[in-house]
Amino acid sequence: MSPTKTVIETIGKVYAGRASASPIVDLFITLLSMGLSGYKRILEKRAQQLPAFSQRLDDVAKRHGERLLICPRNDISFGITLDFLARPIRVEEETEQSYLEDIKAEVSRFGAMLFSRCVSGTRVVPRGESKSMGGEQFVGFGSSHSNYPHAYMTAACAVGVSDDEIEEFFARLDKTFTEFKKRK
């Protein structure tokens, strides 16, 4: 507690709160029930799914004028650009900051559409996001680079995902791109 509202707001932005132990307990029970051989089996299955997952994501990206981001040291999560959300800057009408805010809003709307259509395992990252926490400024917040030149989304090829779930994921992702472009 604090008599100063700004102190409480500042702490609230930095402190995420207490996490529940339930997910860890669930994971522990699942791993115990699977045993080492069961765990190795789902890891092998995911390793087999990776090339096709990456290729399918690249296909969807290309179909919508985007490209797969090559991250050779990351074989779990894959990224694609979201350049279709970035319109040309209208120099006479706006500043770079207002332009980035507009694009950030578009990226957020696309992320919301993905979420509402149950396209799970994705994360959208706007370009030029900046957050202040604990008096420190984080430029490129949420991105892997402070000055990354593209908005992008990531998708994970998770352990335990079935082939049918992957098919459904790509069908929904493709449909969401199409619907978003129509609305835009």
Condensed to tens digits (0 to 9), the pLDDT of residues 144-155 reads 777 788 889 999
Q: Which residues pair with 77 in a beta bridge?
A: 156
Among 169, 149, 162, residue whose Cα is nearest residue 59? 169
Residue 57 near residue 81 (C-beta atoms within 8 A): no
The verdict on residue 141 lying in a domain is yes
For the stretch 124-183, pLDDT in tens is 888 777 777 777 877 777 777 777 888 899 999 988 889 999 999 999 999 999 999 888
CA distance 64 to 48: 26
The verdict on residue 8 lying in a domain is no
Among 184, 167, 151, 182, residue whose Cα is nearest residue 60? 167
Domain count, the chain: 1
Enter the pTM of the model: 0.76
The verdict on residue 156 lying in a domain is yes
The verdict on residue 33 lying in a domain is no
The verdict on residue 28 lying in a domain is no
Among 155, 149, 183, residue whose Cα is nearest residue 75? 155
What 3-state DSSP class applies to 92? coil
CA distances from 158 to 4, 35, 53, 106 (A): 44, 19, 10, 27
The verdict on residue 134 lying in a domain is yes
Domain of 109 in residue numbering reads as: 43-183
The verdict on residue 124 lying in a domain is yes
The verdict on residue 174 lying in a domain is yes
CATH of the domain at 51: 3.90.1150.10
